[in-house]
Amino acid sequence: MTDFYTLAKSLEAEMIARRRDFHRHPELGFHEVRTAGIVAQELNRLGLEVRTGVGRTGVVGLMEGDQPGPTVLLRFDMDALPITEANTADYISETSGVMHACGHDAHTAVGLAVAKMLMPMRKQMAGTLKFVFQPAEEGLGGAAAMVKDDVMASPAPGRSLALHVWNDKPVGWVAATDGPCMAAADKFTVTLFGKGGHGASPYQTQDPIVAAAQIVSALQTIVSRNVDALENAVLSVTSVKGGEAFNVIPDSVTLMGTVRTFKPEVRARVLRRFDEIVQGIAAAMQCRAEAVWQVTTPAVVNDATMSAAVRQSAQSMPGVTHVSADERTMGSEDMAYMMSTVPGCYFFVGSANAEKGLNFPHHHPRFDIDERALVQAAALMAAAAAKYVLK
């Protein structure tokens, strides 16, 4: 049996150096030109068949075994966030207002290490590994763009794998959940049209601000009164905009927010009640409401057999102290677009270290990871992929 942990450990210094280089030079979604260039260069150097410009700035590398067999897709995201870094490490972002605050620098470094680990095993492989380095995971539709550019074809994968370093948990913790593990995300925009006027004469208006206030409050009852307490749903109004002057009631108010669910039937119930509440209150307040919904991502739903295989590999891996089958988050992930067509497993690798102050949450200006997680992530991904192609 191949010792993937030892192989990954031998690449630890290289992974750390690569991760820190990516961290110094973060790039926003669909602007990952430097990152994609490094990825393509390294995959070419290793001998993979490389395709660039997939989904605008994505990179795909094919590693074909000597024998025919299944194709397994391995996805690693590359993009950074529009956040000003507040860390003091010697590898902090050199790009103003942009930082790797979600660990995608680590994912990219891990992906290159996995390719380097598995390439020498091609003669023992029956099948193909499809390394997918994705742009624009952070809400800009990078996965959908790659799907549109036929990332799920030529060759079509039969299985898929992805991972995320996870600062909610310490190094040594691993989770591969059966079934849903990341929520479907919907974005909503509601515009309330009333009749503006003088703040001293509200009786002459049809006040959209008062209507908006009642709608925001009433929407909170959907989760508490219309969703089974044993199910999961989140509804958050995150933006309220209306009015410019202290003494003027505006003609309109705009609300924005998000809904997160795991199950289609729960989502349908939330959306139905949302529309009833918005339209009903708007009408009662003599306003008119227009609601626009945008599906950001479906839920990430793991294949139970694949998740069990990842957990089995983790349980025998050095340094792993806890393996979970039940880690779910209401955060979203557009890997769902790839996993919606083929079975997959999206697993989490703990990356926090509270003693070293490396436990700030994802998307925080001081986010950073314990880099020991790189070895565990690379070893687990290589082991998970090898189960399907290594004979």
Active-site annotation, residues: 79, 137
- In the chain, which residue ranges form alpha helices assigned H by DSSP? 4-10, 12-24, 33-46, 104-118, 142-148, 208-221, 264-284, 304-315, 336-339, 372-389
Report in angstroms the alpha-carbon separations of 238 from 219, 301, 344, 352, 356. Answer: 12, 26, 32, 28, 33
- Hey, CA dihedral for 326, 12, 167, 318, is it positive or negative? positive
Helix axis angle for 372-389 and 104-118, nearest 10°, is 50
Q: Say how far apart CA 35 and CA 87 lie, in whole Å.
A: 21
* Burial grade of 13 (CB within 10 A; 0-12, 13-18, 19 or more): exposed
> Tell me, what amino acid is at 374?
L
- For residues 320 and 314, the answer to whether their CB atoms sit within 8 Å is yes
- For residues 164 and 346, the answer to whether their CB atoms sit within 8 Å is yes
Report in angstroms the alpha-carbon separations of 181 from 44, 75, 304. Answer: 34, 16, 11
Q: Say how far apart CA 111 and CA 12 lie, in whole Å.
A: 13
**Which distant-in-sequence residues (6+ apart) come within 8 Å of 345 by Cβ?**
160, 161, 162, 176, 302, 303, 306, 307, 309, 310, 384
CA angle 364, 367, 372 (to 5 degrees): 155
